[in-house]
Amino acid sequence: MAALRAAVAALALLALCPGPAAAATPLVIWHGMGDSCCNPVSMGFIQKLVEKKIPGIYVLSLRIGSNLIQDMENSFFMNVNEQVSEVCRQLASDPQLQGGYNAMGFSQGGQFLRAVAQRCPAPPMLNLISIGGQHQGRVYGFPRCPGESSHLCDWIRKTLDLGAYTKAVQEHLVQAEYWHDPLKEEDYRKNSIFLADINQERGINETYKKNLMALKKFVMVKFLNDTMVDPPISEWFGFYKSGQAKETIPLQETLLYKEDRLGLQEMDKAGKLVFLGVKGDHLHFSEEWFDSSILPFLQ
């Protein structure tokens, strides 16, 4: 009897002692146009910030290419479908991600990571945070891009104006692959090799729908004073009302939502969609806002 009482006391003591802390969920980051994985004032800063706030977290900031210059160049010129496939290979081969991970995409990295969620369910993406991503496409009019005075931006603008939906431009210019012209909807649906596919514009891929609906949360951040994304409501999955370029409609009024082609209606009703607004221009936010609004989805 004494031995039994001692065993019970030992078990009670163990129950009072805290066990080892659960490991933080890994985070995968994908940068935006003209940026790179490890820029110290952008993605490098974000990575260090997350690592400081969540000790022990594993953060993978995606690099597409063998060096930072290639990574930046590929954000303009590497076929998006090839980029997504490359990222899927990186994630599948990373032993630290096999139990699942959170994903955070900045600007075009937001819609690219959504494609990863839809196409590559292993390892599983748990939460997707899109910060300024253009999920119904961007950039009707292409108002500006990083380095407004650069010849590269001028060339991209002219190329998009002249032939965004031609095969050569679609296959070799990243921004054309999510160019959504509300005055040329049929051309967009027929010829867009990336966005029209992941947005189910040419038919329903049930696997895409199932995989996206597996997310715990899909967080979309819209910059309330955005001068770079046209229309800014694309950051909340809204767009121009078809056939004109003045009136916009929210996600809930689009056919994509009403027909539930991606499962967004069902996700919305289940509380899985989160719409956040932040004052400021494109990708301009404070550390305080990031701490209070984004970190809770990573912990």
* Domains of the chain: total: 1
Q: What average pLDDT score do residues 141-155 get?
A: 61
Residue 13 lies in a domain: no
Q: Is residue 155 in some structural domain? A: yes
Domain membership of residue 19 (yes or no) is no
Residue-range definition of the domain harbouring residue 214: 27-297
Q: Is residue 21 part of a domain?
A: no
Per DSSP (E only), the strands in the chain are 27-30, 59-61, 101-106, 125-131, 217-223, 239-240, 248-249, 273-278
**pLDDT per residue over 86-131, tens digit each?**
999 999 999 999 999 999 999 999 999 999 999 999 999 999 999 9
> Is residue 8 one of the residues assigned to a domain?
no
Establish if 145 belongs to a structural domain. yes
Strand duo 27-30 + 59-61: pairing: parallel
List Cβ<8 Å contacts ≥24 apart for 241-250.
241/182, 242/182, 242/185, 243/182, 243/183, 243/185, 244/182, 244/183, 245/140, 245/141, 245/182, 245/183
pLDDT for 243: 81
Is 171 inside any structural domain? yes
Nearest to 45 by CA among 96, 86, 106, 113: 106
> Which residues are marked as active site?
107, 226, 282
Q: Does position 3 have pLDDT exceeding 50, yes or no?
A: no
Angstrom distance (rounded) from CA 186 to CA 288: 43
Asked whether 85 and 197 are in contact (CB, 8 A), the reply is no
pTM of the model: 0.89
CATH code assigned at 131: 3.40.50.1820
pLDDT of residue 139: 65
